[in-house]
Amino acid sequence: MKRLLSRIAVALAVVAGVASVAQTDARAQSEPTIKLGYAKCAHCTPLVLVPDYAKGAKVEAIGFNTGNDVLTALLSKSIDVAQVTYLHYITALDKGFDVVAISGQVEGGSQIVVQNDLPLKENDWDGLKALIAKYKAEGKPFRVAASRGNAQDIHMRGAFAKHGIDVNKDVQFINIPNPSDHIQALRRGEVELICTVEPFATQIVQANAAKLFAYPYDQAAGNLTNLMLTRSDVVAANPKGLESTVKAIVDIDNKIAQDKPLWVGVITKVTGLDKTVAEGAINNLMPDYKMYRKEALAIATMMRDLKYISNDVSAQVEKNLNYQFLEAATGKPKTELGY
């Protein structure tokens, strides 16, 4: 009898285990799924943590080489959520694409660097204006570079305008599309100044290829860079998946703001960068999940003035900032989330 009872107990345990596994599988199968795309930059790499932080949804994080690649994947419905920039958002709206902003992620990452032998100290804007005037008087172009149309391009142009420098008249602008080429352009003496992005900016300064001149955040666009986008069909069909994803982004931002070694580890793992470069880069990056309506409108105005877009998309920029997921994730009203 004792042996029989033991066998029954074992059988019941097996049945219970099978039932538990089946329930777990059923819950997993019922969870909404999200495909999230991100570019492999210092700002963006913390998004590889989203699958681990998302509760109530299965998230797949997919790395792309550039923000343009991520936006293309979103528009072609290959992914559901895209990490891009405010400029991508505004450009997409200008072209009539269906994009909806659902949260911020990380801001900052812009740095203006100048050739080491130029007689300029950090933030010496009067000195820069005088030097540009000297070049002009001598019949030499003062060459400034950026990757046209990215956040650093807009930050630099805004800062120049604020300090009375006309990029179209006072200097010669050179477009260097790939930021990884910026360091060689400086070393070859092809430009006097570049506004570039982290971690390339830190890499340039640490390699002594140029020196820091300024962080160009004192203009209408502020330090805005990254924005998370989805489409209206995903908002309608998968609100729970988006809610879990945004909650994970908020939690990760709060975590990396306090745990810098974690952030450095993610950057070095995803990009293969040297740890010292990653540590320097995050000093110029600001985790921030809010979406900034006023500054987004300012960027749209700047992009139209620069003819980067052809239409006034101010109404769409404001209308397509959807705060419902951030409000659910944080318990705060949109008036406290950048609206």
What's the CATH number where 327 sits? 3.40.190.10
Structural domain of residue 115, as residue ranges? 110-214
Q: What is the pTM of this model?
A: 0.86
Q: Are residues 180 and 40 in the same domain?
A: no
Residues composing the chain: 339
Which alpha helices (H) appear in 182-238, and where do they start and end?
Answer: 182-187, 200-206, 232-237
140 class by beta-carbon count within 10 Å (0-12 exposed, 13-18 middle, 19+ buried):
exposed
Q: From CA 225, how far away is CA 257, in angstroms rounded?
A: 17
What pLDDT was estimated at residue 15?
47
What pLDDT was estimated at residue 168?
87
Q: What is the pLDDT of residues 172-212, one digit of tens each?
A: 999 999 999 999 999 999 999 999 999 999 999 999 999 99
Task: Please tell me the total count of domains within the chain.
Answer: 2
pLDDT-wise least confident of 97-111, 293-307, 324-338: 293-307
Residue 18 lies in a domain: no
Q: Are residues 187 and 265 in the same domain?
A: no
Task: Encode 158-176: b = buried (16+ Cβ within 10 Å), e = exposed.
Answer: bbbeebebebeebbebbeb
Q: Are residues 130 and 48 in the same domain?
A: no
* Helix, strand, coil abundance in the chain, percent, nearest 5: 50, 20, 30
Q: Are residues 318 and 251 in the same domain?
A: yes
Residue 26 lies in a domain: no
Q: What percent of the chain has pLDDT over 90?
A: 82
Q: Are residues 331 and 229 in the same domain?
A: yes
Q: Are residues 190 and 86 in the same domain?
A: no
What pLDDT was estimated at residue 272?
87
Classify residue 56 as left (phi > 0), alpha (psi -120 to 50) or beta.
left
Mean pLDDT for all residues in the chain: 91
**Of 166, 172, 179, 177, the residue nearest 111 (C-alpha):** 179
Residue 66 lies in a domain: yes
Q: Are residues 117 and 250 in the same domain?
A: no
